[in-house]
Amino acid sequence: LRKLKDELLSITSSEEVREETSVDIVDEHNSTVSIVVVGASGDLAKKKIFPALFALYYEDCLPKHFTVFGYARSKMTDAELRDMVSRTLTCRIDKRENCSEKMEQFLKRCFYHSGQYDSEKNFAELDMKLRDHEKGRVSNRLFYLSIPPYIFIEVVRCASNSASSANGWTRVIVEKPFGRDSESSASLTRDLKQYLVEDQIFRIDHYLGKELVENLSVLRFSNLIFGPLWSRQYIRNVQFIFSEDFGTEGRGGYFDSYGIIRDIMQNHLLQILALFAMETPVSLDAEDVRNEKVKVLRSMKPLQLENVVIGQYKSHTKGSVTYPAYTDDNTVPKGSLTPTFAAAALFINNARWDGVPFLMKAGKALHSKIAEIRVQFKHVPGSLYNSSFGTDLDRTTNELVIRLQPDEGIYLKINNKVPGLAMRLDQSNLNLHYAARYAKEIPDAYERLLLDAIEGERRLFIRSDELDAAWALFTPVLKELEEKKVMPELYPYGSRGPVGAHYLAARHNVQWG
């Protein structure tokens, strides 16, 4: 194998192929993976990354030889890291089982190194420790940058300068935000590419790891019945809805420089839209899928100011409880105009989707926590069943709902005869309720994405041209909103959001589902 690898390396000078070659040829027993969580003391590491790694370990999905290294400035011993991590682990996969033994085994593989993010010396010390654990095996390294974005480059610089001893692949998972607009995103990409090639950069959008987002392509491309309907000919509008029933509490500092359009729409909702609307890819290979996503994103018109409504939550008292306004957070500047809610209408300029409104709605501190896709179909032309059968034609068109969370499910609203002697219709759901259909717990998005990164599967990660296309759609309107200091419409904490969202939808003949 090694000889073959050397031969392959000698016939190409491409860095990308170098990386691929080492991945494909490395034999599991003679190789090891070191997973370095940079920012291990932080919220995301505790909440998502360590629990996801444990879940993968529990399911025997991690390679035979692996170690997890936490890296951050906070002073911690290995034992203290293990103690911190152990408090985040649960027997999520099989709640009846006692996984304490598995947890113990997993924790023994976790280590910690304290260091500065801009210190080559500290990264060289980390490198020494990694080497000790790698014990002469082919060493593959996955760095997860779970840190604020303005230190990404320093970390990548220091890690790459000191990582000369890794002789397998090196990959870096980069967390959002990937810049604030087209320019800053391009500059981040440029800076990352001083140290890494594109194939080493795994830009994570955790919505792509959600089970029902993964299922979108299966639904579309493995069921004959949806394909013919999936176009302007039968679909009136598509809605992408994200709502949270809590505010930005604790993350106000970050949120205020980004706002809901950058936090949710430009990435999570747009990624789902791209998967929803793209043409059939040549294959399921990462590049084929990402090519189709880029194509559809580039067919879209940049969002226009008149097609956006923004809002911000204000304080609201319900019974004895008073919920705070966004600007009550100490980390948010007084008088901030940052939107915590936005609704937008986007259009795709291609033969399949011309004229179909793609509506997005995203908000914090609303009445419910939900993320879903709603596909509203057109009226039945020349329907035999008019209002005398109890149908309201405007309300009884077919609707396909894909509920991403919580309580995952897919249902199709159809018109049905109410049983009995009279001819009366009502609307019912053909319902695929995941909890009822599948006994197995749905994996967390971070589990799928971490596993894919370890396996070198890039399909669910964002390529740089995808990112450019995504920013091109939102950058002009974001600039305009900021330059014109557009006032967000205030809505009470826990409400359904600003009424402006309904006017926007109505202008496009849409009713929110």
39 binds ligand NDP, rule: CB under 6 A = yes
What is the largest distance, in Å, between two alpha-carbon atoms of the chain? 83
Contact between 402 and 373 under an 8 Å Cβ cutoff? The reply is yes
- Residue 146 as a binder of ligand NDP (CB under 6 A): the answer is yes
Compute the least distance from the CB of residue 465 to ligand BG6, in Å: 22
Annotated catalytic residue 268: yes
Q: Give CA angle at 336 (330, 339), nearest 5°.
A: 110
Query: Which of the stretches 52-60, 141-149, 306-314, 398-406 binds ligand NDP when contact is defined by CB under 6 A?
Result: 141-149
Rounded Cα–Cα distance for residues 488 and 498 (Å): 9
For ligand NDP, which residue of 63, 149, 456, 513 counts as binding (CB under 6 A)? 149
Give me the DSSP letters along 414-468: EEEEPSSSS--EEEEEEEEEHHHH--SPPPPHHHHHHHHHHHT--TTEE-HHHHH
Measured from the Cβ of residue 82, the count of other Cβ atoms closer than 10 Å reads 21
Name which position in 8, 9, 23, 151 contacts ligand NDP (CB under 6 A): 151
Given the residues 65, 113, 268, 433, select the one marked as catalytic: 268
The Cα 414–Cα 398 span in angstroms is: 5
Q: How many residues bind ligand NDP (CB under 6 A)?
A: 18
| Least distance (Å) between residue 261 CB and ligand NDP | 15
Is 175 a binder of ligand NDP (CB under 6 A)?
yes
**The one among 16, 27, 28, 43 contacting ligand NDP by CB under 6 A:** 43
Q: Whole-angstrom distance between the N-terminal and C-terminal Cα of the chain?
A: 57
416 DSSP β-pair partners: 426
In the complex, the smallest distance separating the C-beta of residue 16 from ligand BG6, rounded to whole angstroms, is 28
In the complex, the residues that contact ligand BG6 under the rule CB under 6 A are: 206, 244, 263, 371
Q: What does each C-alpha distance from 348 to 5, 245, 302 come to in angstroms?
A: 45, 31, 10
Helices 270-277 and 211-222, packing angle to 10 deg:
10
147 makes contact, choosing from ligand BG6, ligand NDP, none, with CB < 5 to 8 Å by partner type, with: ligand NDP
The residues in 66-125 that bind ligand NDP, with binding defined as CB under 6 A, are 72-74, 117
Residue 44 binds which entry of ligand BG6, ligand NDP, none, CB below 5-8 Å type-dependent? ligand NDP
Q: Which does 447 bind (CB under 5 to 8 A by kind): ligand BG6, ligand NDP, none?
A: none
Q: Which stretch binds ligand NDP (CB under 6 A): 55-63, 121-129, 171-179, 325-333?
A: 171-179
Q: Is 205 in the site for ligand NDP (CB under 6 A)?
A: no
> Would you say 159 or 504 has its CB closer to ligand NDP?
159
Q: Are 473 and 303 in contact (CB under 8 A)?
A: yes
Asked if 41 is part of the footprint of ligand NDP (rule: CB under 6 A), the reply reads yes
The two tokens of residue 50 are: 């360590």
Residue among 126 and 450 whose Cβ is closer to ligand BG6: 450
Amino acid at 248: T
CB 363 within 8 A of CB 246: no
Helix H or strand E segment including 345:
strand 341-346
CA 356 to CA 340: how far, in whole Å? Answer: 26
- Min dist CB 263 to ligand BG6, Å, is 5
Question: Pick from 310, 313, 361: which is nearest to 492 by CA?
Answer: 313
**Parallel, antiparallel, or unpaired: how do β-strands 399-405 and 110-114 relate?**
unpaired
Within 10 angstroms of residue 328's Cβ, the number of other Cβ atoms is 17
Q: Does 179 bind ligand NDP (CB under 6 A)?
A: no
Ranked by CB distance to ligand NDP, the top (closest) residue is: 42
Strands 66-72 vs 31-38: parallel, antiparallel or unpaired:
parallel
For residue 74, the partner it binds in ligand NDP, ligand BG6, none, with Cβ less than 5 to 8 A by kind, is ligand NDP
CB of 249 to ligand NDP, least distance (A): 12
Half-sphere exposure of 307 toward its Cβ, with a 13 Å CA cutoff?
17
User: Least distance in Å: CB of 246 to ligand NDP?
Assistant: 12
The residue (of 42 and 63) whose beta carbon lies closer to ligand NDP is 42
Decide: is 44 part of the binding site for ligand NDP (CB under 6 A).
yes
**Separation in Å, CA 404 to CA 166, 393, 409:** 39, 28, 7
Residue 371 C-beta: closest distance to ligand BG6, Å: 6
Q: Look at residue 149 and give the partner it binds from ligand NDP, ligand BG6, none, a contact being a CB closer than 5 to 8 Å depending on partner kind.
A: ligand NDP
Pick 85 or 265: Cβ nearer ligand BG6: 265
Q: How far is the CB of 458 from ligand NDP (least distance, A)?
A: 19
Q: By C-alpha distance, which of 131, 144, 81 is closest to 109?
A: 81
Of 117 and 195, nearer to ligand NDP (C-beta) is 117
Whether 341 and 393 have beta carbons less than 8 Å apart is answered as: no
- Residues constituting the chain: 513
Picked from ligand BG6, ligand NDP, none, the partner binding residue 263 (CB below 5 to 8 A depending on kind) is ligand BG6
Place of tokens 């990937």: 178
List residues with catalytic annotation: 268
Residues binding ligand NDP (CB under 6 A):
39, 41-45, 72-74, 117, 146-149, 151, 175-177
